[in-house]
Amino acid sequence: MKKLFFAIVACFALSTVTAQTEEELKAQIAPKKDSIAAIQKRVDALQAKLDALPGWKVGAFGTIGGSISEFNNWFAQGIPNNSSGNIGFTVNAFANLQEEKFFWRNSANLNLAWVKLDDKDDPTDNDSFRQATDVFNISSLYGRKLSEKFAISALAEYRTTLLSNFNDPGYLDLGVGATWTPISDLVVVIHPLNYNFVFSSEDAIFESSMGAKIVADYTKQIGAVSFKSNLSLFQSYESSDLSNWTWINSFSYTLWKMIGVGFDFGLRNNNQETLNYIVNNAPTPNPDATFDTIDNELQTYWTLGLSYKF
């Protein structure tokens, strides 16, 4: 009986010591978290001063994703004998010049991907890698500073595909207006005088027009995390059917040295591209379709994979 009593007392004492130790450890963690936050604020402040220094700032980061697989007699699926694979990569690069009276910001975004599905029971199917994602954007912004946050600016931006139908369509925006930089990482461009040149063999669908150009770009690095968000919008003065916008987002988390995990996703709305697809490229083309009869669905893509920071 005494042994049982001492065992109970010992267990109670041990649990009390453990609870006290846990509380003590939690109490010690709290101020360290505050210290880390304070250090990060000082680092961010120093980085902001560094970014504001005159001269060129050049950088890039990207994402690589891919997989391969092979199935033999896997009868639970529709194609029991097949080999498949996909590979894709994105690159976000910039070269920015900051001077006392002017700035020149240049950026590029590239996203390419290929997929394959080889049905071994169908000798007539396409067993090669086929283009799946094809995005290419490049822009150049020059600004003459009126103050630290406002500038008179000129923008050239070009968007197209590289793997297929290069420059068909292709979009070139040229315009002037103002640029607002409320913080070092955010650039907002508002150009009420902008011409959207559209290059395409389908002149009956694609049309150039005058309009307003709005661009918002946010690029930031916090410790091991790098991310970039870019919204490019053109509002045509002639017709909303000639307007378009693209929003591209890229995230990268460094796990070891320069290697990490990356995630990219993009959204786009473009009536002209939708109509061209329905008229010419859909599985069952409709040559009689018009802007008034189509459902302009949102275009999306995403890529997840390993990332490499340059």
Whole-number Å distance between alpha carbons of 307 and 251 = 9
Same domain, yes or no, for 46 and 154?
A: no
The residue written with tokens 């980061």 in the block is: 61
Banded model confidence at residue 97, pLDDT cuts 50, 70, 90: very high
Banded model confidence at residue 171, pLDDT cuts 50, 70, 90: very high
Same domain, yes or no, for 164 and 279?
A: yes
Whole-number Å distance between alpha carbons of 255 and 263 = 14
What CATH number is attached to the domain comprising 105?
2.40.230
Q: How many domains does the chain have?
A: 2
Q: What is the pLDDT of residue 25?
A: 65
Same domain, yes or no, for 221 and 180?
A: yes
pLDDT in tens, 7-20: 555 555 445 545 55
Same domain, yes or no, for 30 and 76?
A: no
Q: What is the pLDDT of residue 278?
A: 92
The two structure tokens encoding residue 203:
């002149």
Choosing from 52, 77, 93, the residue where a domain stops is: 52
The residue written with tokens 């395409």 in the block is: 200
Same domain, yes or no, for 46 and 63?
A: no
pLDDT in tens, 38-52: 776 676 667 666 666
Judge if the upstream peptide bond of residue 192 is cis by omega within 30 degrees of 0: no
Same domain, yes or no, for 164 and 299?
A: yes
Which structural domain, as residue segments, surrounds residue 13? 1-52
Whole-number Å distance between alpha carbons of 11 and 68 = 54
Same domain, yes or no, for 206 and 116?
A: yes
The residue written with tokens 């949102």 in the block is: 298
pLDDT > 70? residue 157: yes
pTM of the complete model: 0.76
